[in-house]
Structures are given as C-alpha cells and as structure tokens.
Structure 1
Amino acid sequence: METLLNDFSPGLFIVSTILLLALIALMVKFAWKPILNSLEERETGIQKALDAAENARKEMQNLQADNESLVREAREERDAMLKEAREIKDKMISEAKDEAKEVAAILIQNAQASIQQEKQAALAEIKKSVAELSINIAESVIKRELASKEDQLELVEGILKEVTLN
C-alpha cells in the first residue's frame, strides 16, 4: 500500500478522472441511449413474443373447444340421421307389411270367390248330369215296362190326370 501511495500522482489521477468522466459522458451521449433502446426493443420484442405465444395458446384452446363442439354436434347430427333412417326403414317395412296383408286379403277373397263360383258351376254340372242320367234311366225303365201299347196309354193318361189336378 505504501508503494501505491508513493507512486500516486495527483495530476495523473485528475487526468485519469477527467478521461473517465469524459468517457462516461461520451458513453452516455452516444452509447448509453442506443444500448438502452436496443435493450428496450429486445424487451419489447420478447414481451410481444410472449404475448403472441399466450394469444396463440388461447386461440389453440378456443380452436380445441370449437373442434370438440363441432365433433359433438357432428355426432349428435349423425345420431339424429341414424335415428331418422331407422324410423324411415321401420315405417317402410311396416307399410310394406300392411300392403302385403291387403294384397294377400284381396287375393284370398278373389280365390274364395273363384272357388265358390267353380263350386256352384260344378254343382250345376252335377245336377245337370244327374238329371240327364235320371232321364236316361227313366227312359230305359219306361221302355222296358211299357213295351206294350196298352201300358203306354195307361201311363200317358195317368200323367195327364196328375198334370190337370196339379
């Protein structure tokens, strides 16, 4: 420390102090403001980047919420469409069954009517056949029984009496 005090020169100290002050003044005048401005710009840039990141995060959350909402709405719409399709399918099946039942009922009625007509026609044909057969049998019996003219005259007179009495 003594050597430091022995080598101390007040002129050198004053010149060094003036140079230091001049250097500080020049730094303040020319370098301090640009350094502070660049620090402020950097701080502002960082803050803007942080704000932008925060906004992007919020926007991403909003987009995710919107996406979830859209997905939910799409699912609901799909479920509604499937339900409507099922209802339409069931309705179509029911209508087809009803129509088939009506057609079947009409066909059954037509078939029954046709059967009834054919039955009546068959009965009429049977009656006709029975009548013809009866007439043929009666002719054969009468021919055999009325081989003589006397028997024939008696039969004709008996029939005429019955016809006039009735």
Structure 2
Amino acid sequence: MEKLIEQFSLGLFFWQSVLFVALVLLLKKFAWKPILEAVNEREEGIKNALESAEEAKKEMQSLNADNERILKEARAERDTLLKEARELKDKIIADAKEDAQEQATGIIDAAKAAIEVEKQAAIADLKTQVAHLSIDIAEKVVKQELSAKKDQLELVDKMLGDVTLN
C-alpha cells in the first residue's frame, strides 16, 4: 500500500475522476434512463396484467355463480315438469281404467239383457212347442178309442219319444 501512495499522481487522479463523471453522465443519459424506463414499463405492464387477471377471476366467479343459479333453476324446472308429467300420466291411466270399467259394465249389462231376451224367447218357444205337442197328443188320444188306460200311456210315451225339441 505504501507503494501505491508513493506513485500517486494528482493529474492522473483528476483526469480519471473527470472521465468517471463523464462516463456516469453518459450512462445516465443513454443507458440508465432507457433501462429504467423499460423496467418501469415492464412493471406497469405486469401490474396491468395482474389487475386484468384479477378482473377476469372475478368475472369467472360471477359467471360460475350465474351458471350454478341457472343450473339449479333448470333442475327445479325439470323436476316440476317430471312431476306434472307423472301426475298427468296417472290421471290418464285412471281415466282410461274408469272408461274401460264403464264400457265393460255396459257390455256385461247388454250381454245380460241379450241373454234374458234369448231366455224369454226360448221359454216362449218351448211353451209353444209344449202346447202344440200337448194338443197333438190329446188329438191322437181322442181319435183312437182306446179302452185301456195302459194303451193310452204307452201311446203318450211313444209320441214323446218321437218328438224332438228344436
């Protein structure tokens, strides 16, 4: 260090100081100012990007909340529609069963009436045939002069066996 102090020159120190100050001024004007401006611009850009991202995040949260609300409303409406459809289906089925029951009752009543009519007609026809048969038997019995009751009964039995009912 002593050697350094012995070789010290004031002129050289002055010129080195002038060159250093000039270099600092040149760097300040041409290098630091643009570098600081670029850093500030980048900082501002990052700040704006962060603000935009925050706004986008808030907007996404709002959209998600809206989507959830719309989805809940759609589910509620779907459930309502399904409930109404089930009720309508049950009502239609009940109405159809009731109509079928009424129609079946009507058909059964009509069939019973038709059977009763046919039964009455058959009874009337049977009575008519029995009356004709009785008259025929009586006529034949009277025509033949039968002396014995036994002969008359045999004749009646024979005629009854010969007659076929329609």
**What range is the shorter-chain TM-score in?**
0.7 to 0.9
| In the alignment, structure 1 residue 54 sits paired with structure 2 residue 64 | no
How far is the alpha carbon of 1:146 from its aligned partner?
9.8
AA partner of residue 108 (structure 1): I
> Percent identity between the aligned chains?
56
SS of match in other structure, 1:49: helix
* 1:87-98 alignment, distance < 5 Å: 87-98=87-98
* Residue number in structure 2 paired with 1:100: 100
Query: For the aligned residues, what is the CA RMSD?
Result: 2.3
Separation of aligned partners in 1, 2:37 and 2:5: 42
| TM, length-normalised to structure 1 | 0.76
* Residue number in structure 2 paired with 1:154: none
* Residue number in structure 1 paired with 2:35: 35
* 1:105-116 alignment, distance < 5 Å: 105-116=105-116
Separation of aligned partners in 1, 2:60 and 2:87: 40
| TM, length-normalised to structure 2 | 0.76
How far is the alpha carbon of 1:105 from its aligned partner?
1.2
SS of match in other structure, 2:37: helix
AA partner of residue 137 (structure 1): I
How far is the alpha carbon of 1:85 from its aligned partner?
2.3
How far is the alpha carbon of 1:71 from its aligned partner?
3.0
Query: What whole-Å deviation, never above 9, does each CA across 1:68-89 have from its counterpart, x for those lacking one?
Result: 3333333223322322222222
Separation of aligned partners in 2, 1:51 and 1:102: 76
AA partner of residue 64 (structure 1): N
Separation of aligned partners in 2, 1:59 and 1:4: 69
Query: What whole-Å deviation, never above 9, does each CA across 1:84-123 have from its counterpart, x for those lacking one?
Result: 2222221221121111111101101110110111111111
AA partner of residue 2 (structure 2): E
Q: Highest relative contact order (Cα 8 Å, sep 6+), 1 or 2? A: 2
Separation of aligned partners in 2, 1:72 and 1:126: 79
